[in-house]
Amino acid sequence: MEPVIDDAEVSAMNSYLSSGAWLTEFKKTEEFEKMICDFTGAKHCVVTNNGTISLSLALLAAGVGAGDEVLVPDMTMIATPNSAKMIGASPVFVDVASDTLCMDLEAAEKAVTPKTKALMYVSFNGRTNDLELVRAFCDKHSIFFIEDAAQSLGSFYKGKHIGRYGSIGSFSFSAPKIITTGQGGALITDDDGLYEKMRKLKDFGRSSGGNDFHDSIGYNFKFTDMQAVIGVEQMKKLGSRVSRKKEMFKRYQDGLAEVKEVSFIATDLENTAPWFIDVYVSRRDELVAFLKEKGFGSRPIYPPIHSQEAYSVSGSFPVTEEFAGKGLWLPSSIKVTDEQIDAISFAIKEFYA
C-alpha cells in the first residue's frame, strides 16, 4: 500500500499556499471535517494529528485514565493497546472471532472486571460482527464503547457507517490508508458533550479559540490546514477508491478460488471496502520468499499483540494465534492493476502446484 496523489492535490496545495494560507488548522480543516461528517453521517467530527492519538483522545473524553482497564482485541495494529497505555490505562487483550477476526464477545465477557472502563472494537479490514450486540454488551457492563475504525473508512454495517455504533469512532489517514493526509486521524460522534470535550482536549483545554484562558487540562493534538488541503482532495476520490478496493478483493478471490491452500475471510463486498487484501495460507514463509523472487511484495499480518515483546502477556488466544500464523497481506495499493493481480494469483498457484 502507498499514498496515492495526483495533480488535484498539487494544484489545491498551490492555490492554498498562494492565498494567504493559515497553515495550522482553520477553514480547510473545518471543510475536511464536514466532508467526513457528510460521508459517514456523523453529527460531529474532530480531526487530530494521527489515528493513535485520536484513540487516546477518545479515552480521555470518556473519562478513562490511570488504573482503568480497556478491552482490546489481540489481533490489531499495536496502536490500539498503546493508545490506552499512553494515558496510563491498562489494555486487556481479548481473543477474536474466527469469522471476522474482530473481538469475540464471549471471550470479552470473561475479561471484564470491576476496573473495565472501555471497550475498543477494531473492525478488522472493514469487517465486523454484529455491532448492535457490541453496543448491548457495553451497555450491560456500563463500559464506554469506542470503535477503532482506522481500517474501515468506506465500510458500512446494516446501512450505517462503521464508527457510528460506538459512542466515538476513530479513523486514521496515515500514508497507506484508503485516503491519506500523510499522518492524521479523525473522531466522529453524535454526542454534543463528547464533541465539546474532544475539541477542547485537543486544543490545550481552551474553551474557545484565540485566547489563553483554560478551564481544563488539554493537549495539542491538532491537525494542519496543509493536511486538510490534501484530505479534501482525497475525500473527493474516496467513492472510486472504495469501488476499486472491492473489485480488487473480488479479483484476487476469483483468481485464487481453486487454490485449497489459500482462504479468504468471508467479506460482504456490498458493504465492506477491504483496506488490504488478506489471505490465510499454508507454508506462509516459503510463499513470501517465492513471491519476493518473482518481484511481488507481501507481508505477514500482525503477530498476536499479547506475544509481542512490548507486552508479553500470558493468556488464551487460540484464534488470534492461528490466524496470525497464516495471515498474509498481498499487494493492495489501488495502483495495482488487474494484470498485476492476475500475475500475482498465477504465481501463488504456481507455488502450490
- Smallest distance from ligand PLP to CB 76, Å: 5
Which span sits near ligand PLP by CB under 6 A: 37-45, 146-154, 223-231, 280-288? 146-154
| Beta bridge pairs of residue 169 | 147, 188
- Smallest distance from ligand PLP to CB 103, Å: 12
Q: Is 77 an interacting residue with respect to ligand PLP (CB under 6 A)? A: yes
Q: Is 172 an interacting residue with respect to ligand PLP (CB under 6 A)? A: yes
Amino acid type, 87 = I
- d(CA 262, CA 326) in angstroms, rounded, equals 10
- d(CA 349, CA 353) in angstroms, rounded, equals 6
3-state secondary structure at position 328: strand
3-state secondary structure at position 161: strand
Beta-carbon contacts of 147 under 8 Å, excluding residues fewer than 6 positions away, are 120, 121, 123, 131, 162, 163, 164, 165, 166, 168, 169, 170
Binding mask 78-97 for ligand PLP (x = CB under 6 A): -xx-----------------
Q: Which three three-digit cell numbers place residue 248?
A: 480488487
DSSP secondary structure letter of residue 99: T
Among 29, 100, 116, 151, binds ligand PLP (CB under 6 A): 151
Among 46, 51, 226, 234, binds ligand PLP (CB under 6 A): 51
Which C-beta is closer to ligand PLP: that of 77 or that of 97? 77
- d(CA 192, CA 215) in angstroms, rounded, equals 18
- Smallest distance from ligand PLP to CB 175, Å: 9
How many residues sit close enough to ligand PLP to count as binding (CB under 6 A)? Answer: 14
Which C-beta is closer to ligand PLP: that of 255 or that of 304? 304
Among 1, 150, 187, 277, binds ligand PLP (CB under 6 A): 150
* 50: nearest Cα among 225, 184, 211, 247: 184
Binding mask 173-202 for ligand PLP (x = CB under 6 A): -x----------x-----------------
Q: Are strands 327-330 and 299-300 parallel, antiparallel or unpaired?
A: antiparallel
- Smallest distance from ligand PLP to CB 185, Å: 5
Q: Is 166 an interacting residue with respect to ligand PLP (CB under 6 A)? A: no
Are residues 154 and 177 in contact, defined by beta-carbon separation less than 8 angstroms? no
* 280: nearest Cα among 265, 293, 258, 292: 265
- Smallest distance from ligand PLP to CB 120, Å: 9
Which residues, 256 to 295, sit near ligand PLP by CB under 6 A? none
Which C-beta is closer to ligand PLP: that of 227 or that of 298? 227
Q: Is 52 an interacting residue with respect to ligand PLP (CB under 6 A)? A: yes
Among 50, 272, 307, 320, binds ligand PLP (CB under 6 A): 50
- d(CA 336, CA 174) in angstroms, rounded, equals 19
- Smallest distance from ligand PLP to CB 336, Å: 19
DSSP secondary structure letter of residue 114: T
Beta-carbon contacts of 38 under 8 Å, excluding residues fewer than 6 positions away, are none
Q: Is 35 an interacting residue with respect to ligand PLP (CB under 6 A)? A: no
Amino acid type, 350 = E
Contact residues for ligand PLP, defined by CB under 6 A: 50-52, 76-77, 79-80, 122, 148, 150-151, 172, 174, 185
